Chain A
Amino acid sequence: MARIEEYIPIVGQPVIDDLRLLAERLKGKVVQNINSTSVGGGVAEILHRMIPFLKELGVDAHWDLIKGGEQFFEVTKKFHNTLHGMPIEISQQDFDIFLDTSRMNAEEINIFGDIVFVHDPQPLALIRNKAKNKWIWRCHIDVSEPNQKVWRFLRSFIDSYDAAVFSAPAFSQKLPIRQFLISPSIDPLSDKNKELSQESINSVLKKYNLPKDKPIITQISRFDRLKDPLGVIETYKQVKRHIDCRLVLAGGGASDDPESAEVLGEVKEAAKGDPDIHILLLAQNDIEVNALQRASTVILQKSIREGFGLTVAEALWKAKPVVASNVGGISLQIAHKYSGLLCHSVEGASFAVKQLLSSPDYARRLGENGREHIKNNFLITRHLKEYMLLFLSLYYPEDIVYL
């Protein structure tokens, strides 16, 4: 894994100097992160990089997991979907399963942090263990229009935290605690985003039997209904009527998502009979994701809902033209017609893809602008800085803090 100094050529020395100054102010504080999975999904990915960086800077950071069985994760997946506005009925039994597992976790987990940093709803109820330490709830999902029954239930825990963090302004709700806006980030030196040789890219294409004979449209995402994989196939079919191309739908599963196998089945069914649609179920292999993004002509992210949509930042960092739904944090990453194209429907997405395939100069310009925007706002160094400021804010209630 890269060391902090290696980011200097990308972001400049002063940015790294600032990180060191902040880390000094956090000396003596123990930061304990807690979430529900160590693999799959954006949260685990961010923590895998964030923790070593905080440690390297001298912040005493730790990462612990809660435990949960199949039933628990089915319930939290339901919570997740209803918070995103999907009409799913939640029963008292669901709440009971959540509370039982939370109680067990609260008994088993060792809380030792001066700052306890809880990620997403799964470990939310651990707040019952709050003593004199500070607790932050990091919400990574889009809660702009949450199911009120579930939101009220979660609020009974959220309100006891010292602060909450959301990824986009629209996700904020009126809460009795401080709430901060911190967007997630990508790591430009990780396997998923680092530069790759053409040889490495070609070898991945060869492995998946993906010829370079036609433009490649790609969506990288988990097989999840909220990512609208069927809408992606429909978009591709509409483009294909006019421009010959291939579609790559690639992604893995996450250990806390029991629905993905079912969705993958539906996707395979919809793609049946078209040899130019490539459905790739990737094991956790970031180099391959990187290579597929770099080999693509256009990247799609046709999500129905998004917490943030880090795959958009990944694609833009590679200067790829992106067509994405105007949901969640995607509008923070793409300024329409400046750093990508935003859409609201299958028809809009296919029109945008056709435009980009037909106008490579325009596509290149959008990609280059996108890369610059990601460099200034969505790299891990900015994220690290804001997390350290967040930790410090717990001890300073003012709007202007002199450190």
Chain B
Amino acid sequence: MPELTKAKEPFVFYTRLHLSELTGLRASTLGQLLELIKEVNGSCIYQHTHRFLQQHQHLSPEPPNDFAYWITDVLGEDELGEKLASIDLTQFTTIRSLREAITATIAAYLDKNPLAKVRFSKEGEEFHFIKSVSFVLPTNYVAYDLKDFMDILEKISIDSIYYHIFEARLRLERNTNDFSNWIETSIGNEKLAKEISRLDPYTFTLDGLRNKLIKIVKRKIPD
């Protein structure tokens, strides 16, 4: 029976707690939205493409981003809303490149549909830009091998899983998620690392993602 590999470096689970910072910036037309998306802080872009994940974690396995939601539900521009909702966030490793994709999509739509420029949101339904402020802190959970890792995955907060999977890869520009990185470099299991990084985490609810990770890791642990 194969033995459990001890990690070269233990995995320290961090958690990420979030506060929403208001900017006072609001848009009531698509044109204003586009201009503000170009100029706001990257933390706003992150907030509006990731907020749904945490706030409606029980609801939607495929969370729409706030821009897509507003454009569809408030401005009634369904086609553009769908385009923005289907931007594959896993393809981006920086907020800058994600921002460019969003602005290019809106700008192209406005070029093709000049009438969309004159649509206004109703009073009280403007788009409000909010900035995400993250507080990152270590938890008391540390894994020394895959068995520890799986046991902790079962009980760690959803915020910790969120941090290591979503925030580390895109916002902190680590290229891959922290779990895959540790499994590859410290455990030496490249196949398992790839299996996790291949997941599209945006298509799961956060608890669904936890269960999926546990299932994948469990298969690699000797009985």
Which A residues fall within an 8 A CB radius of B?
A: 12-15, 17-18, 21-22, 25, 144, 166, 169-170, 172-175, 178-182, 372-373, 376-377, 385-386, 389-390, 392-393, 396, 398-403
Contacts and interface: CB of A to CB of B under 8 A. Distances in A.
25 contacts: A12-B157, A13-B155, A14-B158, A18-B15, A25-B137, A169-B22, A170-B128, A172-B23, A172-B128, A174-B25, A179-B22, A180-B19, A373-B56, A376-B55, A389-B17, A389-B19, A390-B19, A392-B135, A393-B19, A396-B135, A399-B41, A399-B131, A401-B136, A403-B135, A403-B136
A13 B155 CA distance: 8
B12 interface: no
Contact of B22 (A12, A172, A385, A386): A172
A319 to B, nearest CB: 15
B58 interface: yes
A179 B131 CA distance: 10
Given A377-B55, A386-B19, A179 B24 contact: yes
A180 B139 contact: no
A169 B133 contact: no
Given A14-B157, A172-B24, 11 more contacts: A21-B139, A22-B137, A170-B124, A178-B21, A179-B22, A179-B24, A181-B21, A182-B19, A376-B57, A389-B133, A403-B136
Contacts of A373: 56
B218 interface: no
Interface size class of B (residues with CB under 8 A): 35 or more
Contacts of A401: 133-136
B130 A181 contact: yes
Contacts of A178: 21
A19 B12 CA distance: 19
A376 B206 CA distance: 12
Nearest to B43: A399
A400 B174 CA distance: 15
Nearest to B23: A172
Given A166-B22, A376-B55, A15 B133 contact: no
B20 interface: yes
A157 B42 CA distance: 30
Contacts of A385: 17
A144 B125 CA distance: 11
A153 B48 CA distance: 33
Interface string B44-78: 00000000000111100000000000000000000
A393 B19 CA distance: 9
Contacts of B23: 172
Contacts of B22: 166, 169, 172, 179-181
A286 B15 CA distance: 36
Which of A166, A169, A182, A373 gathers the greatest number of chain B CB atoms within 10 Å?
A169
A172 B126 CA distance: 12
